[in-house]
Chains A and B, each alone.
Chain A
Amino acid sequence: MIKLQIDHLTKHYWLEREDRNVLALSDVSFSVEDGEFMAIVGPSGCGKTSMLNIIAGLLPYEEGDVLIDGKRVNGPGIDRAVVFQHASLLPWRTIGGNVRYGMELQKRFDEATMRDRAEHFIKLVGLSGFERHYPSELSGGMQQRVNLARALAADPVVLLMDEPFAALDAQTREFMQAELLKIWSKAKKTVVFITHQINEAIYLADRVVVMSARPGRVKDVFKVPFERPRNLSLKRDPRFLELEDSVWKLIEEESDRLGMVAAV
């Protein structure tokens, strides 16, 4: 069953500084199945963050359709939650308060349910015992766990992740990728995961959308052939490296066309 459908989505915007029109997304179409983990990978400037903002309802769009369960997206909704690149936690709220924040804004649950859900998802992301800590007392990786727990606690139909591990150091990132897969296997959500890292996309996703830069177009959509559960050692598997290499070449062609070094 199709959960999220992007249909001929085109997005222009006006670049105030340079006083010109920019085509960010050009005729983008793909669909995400219920419970599927979809990664979107592409070089910087391929409009992938614009696309995520459109799906989240934070950015208006005129041409094309974004449909969730067949309904057109017009602004933010309780059927979506976003995990941002910067944890965006309220610094004056404790971890417990931050995990509740999304639920409080959406007013879907009563007090007891919110308490139970907050506790459940704090435990799920492995932060039990940190409920009363403030975000400034946590490492970047731990802050991103809070960010994830906040989004999951709001019980979205589609979970949107905007390069959530991009700001983490390489080791923490690998660790968080493995953790995310475990959490996802329990939370059973449809996920759209934006990244510029090819191996991150392949490691995490069921399918990968490869995008080209300026304007953002769908270059390829492919299914990741590896079984789940996946271990981090998969990243050293020759078949994995081969797949990574072929995606890399797709993106490299693109960078050559634009005369720049791929920012991957």
Chain B
Amino acid sequence: MKTETTLAQPHIKAEKAVRPRQSFYQRHESLILGGGSVLIVVAIWQAIWSYTDWISPLFFSGPSAIAKAFWSMVQDGSLFADLAFSGKNFAIGFGAALASGIVLGVIIGWYRRIRLIFDPFLNALYAAPRVAMMPLIIMWFGIGMWSKVFIVFLSAFFPILLNTVAGIRNMDRDLLRAARAFCASDWQVFKTLAIPGSVPFILTGVRQGVGVGLIGVVVGEMLGSSEGIGFRVAYGGQTFQTDTLFVGFVIIAIGGIVLSWAAERLERHFSRWRPER
């Protein structure tokens, strides 16, 4: 018998490999190529806008005109008022959808009978485009903020709920068997397997919910509101203030990019244990 107290270490070192040296370009390739292409497109657009009469200011706009409209909206404070209105509606509606979607999703995912009872309603409501309910929602809540809050809630709720249900149900059978072999109770299975295992699903739901929630707030404001970014876009269109319309459009695009980037970061943070992609 050997007298050693521990066994040989496997022949793989725990240290991280040394990162090979990279040039400035290699380290920032996506930023350089992505940012560069945006700059070039904007420059061409601006050149056409300034030096040709191919673009009618009635139907389209140019970067400098958009910037000017943006600046005047910043100065008179209307841009921040609109942003605050839309942002508040989105935040309240999305927060409510997040909390209720996760809690109900966990319950529906865990209890088979509750799922069978709710399934037909969930599927019907999920398949129907929720913004189509906007006229009804305006009838209920008026054209103030609560109709917008509600449409955001309704839009974001279903992707969060259904992804949570899928996450809870997607329990690994091998893991369940292992847990049971170690005498796990239902509560322990729920706590140690169902919940952590569904986190990536929930975050996918959050990412989808951000997208449809954003559509909800914009469309809601377009259809019935006197404030907000969506209203600004619709109003710009109705009054042929094409520059203002474009400012609203750019703001919405940036808002969408920032929010989905944040959701993606969140998703990545909580899936550190997954194999590298």
Contacts and interface: CB of A to CB of B under 8 A. Distances in A.
A147 B12 CA distance: 18
B14 A133 contact: yes
Given A124-B7, A126-B10, A133-B14, A92 B179 contact: no
B274 A88 contact: no
A164 to B, nearest CB: 13
A134 B192 CA distance: 16
- Max chain A C-beta neighbours (<10 A), residue from B2, B7, B274: B7
B183 interface: yes
Interface in B41-73: none
A88 B275 contact: no
Contacts, number: 86
B7 A77 contact: no
Interface in A75-116: 76-78, 80-82, 84, 86, 88, 90-93, 101-102, 104-106
Contacts of B8: 126
A232 to B, nearest CB: 14
A76 B10 contact: no
- Max chain B C-beta neighbours (<10 A), residue from A91, A104, A124, A133: A91
Q: Is the interface of B mostly helix, strand, loop or mixed?
A: loop
Contact of B9 (A80, A126, A229): A126
A136 B183 CA distance: 25
Given A76-B182, A105-B184, A129-B14, A91 B273 contact: yes
Interface in A125-153: 125-130, 133-136, 139, 141-142, 145
B5 to A, nearest CB: 8
B180 A76 contact: yes
A183 interface: yes
Interface string B165-179: 000000010110111
Contacts of A139: 10, 12
Given A105-B183, A105-B188, A154-B182, A58 B177 contact: yes
Contacts of B12: 139, 142
Given A58-B180, A106-B182, A185-B1, A128 B9 contact: yes
B6 interface: yes
Interface residues of B, number: 30
Nearest to A108: B183
A139 B10 CA distance: 10
Contact of A182 (B7, B174, B179, B181): B7
B273 A134 contact: yes
Interface residues of A, number: 43
A123 interface: yes
- Max chain B C-beta neighbours (<10 A), residue from A57, A101, A105, A229: A105
Contacts of A133: 14
B149 to A, nearest CB: 34
A179 interface: yes
B222 to A, nearest CB: 42
Contact of A56 (B181, B193, B272, B275): B181
Interface in A59-83: 76-78, 80-82
A182 B2 contact: yes
Contact of B7 (A101, A102, A105, A183): A183
A105 B174 contact: no
Contacts of A130: 14
B199 interface: yes
Contacts of A91: 273-274
A78 B272 CA distance: 32
A114 B192 CA distance: 17
A93 to B, nearest CB: 8
B196 A90 contact: yes
A128 B197 contact: no
Interface in B204-261: none
A142 B7 CA distance: 13
Contacts of A86: 174
A90 B8 CA distance: 25
Contacts of A135: 273
A136 B275 contact: yes
Contacts of B177: 58, 84, 88
A88 B174 contact: yes
A152 B274 CA distance: 26
Contact of B181 (A82, A93, A129): A82
Contact of B178 (A88, A126, A134, A145): A88
A126 to B, nearest CB: 4
12 contacts: A57-B181, A58-B177, A78-B183, A92-B273, A93-B273, A101-B192, A105-B183, A105-B188, A136-B274, A136-B275, A145-B10, A182-B7
Closest 6 interchain pairs by CB?
A88-B178, A126-B7, A105-B182, A102-B182, A134-B273, A136-B275
Given A93-B273, A142-B10, 18 more contacts: A56-B181, A78-B183, A81-B182, A82-B181, A84-B181, A86-B174, A88-B174, A91-B274, A92-B273, A101-B192, A105-B192, A106-B182, A127-B10, A128-B6, A135-B273, A136-B273, A136-B275, A142-B12
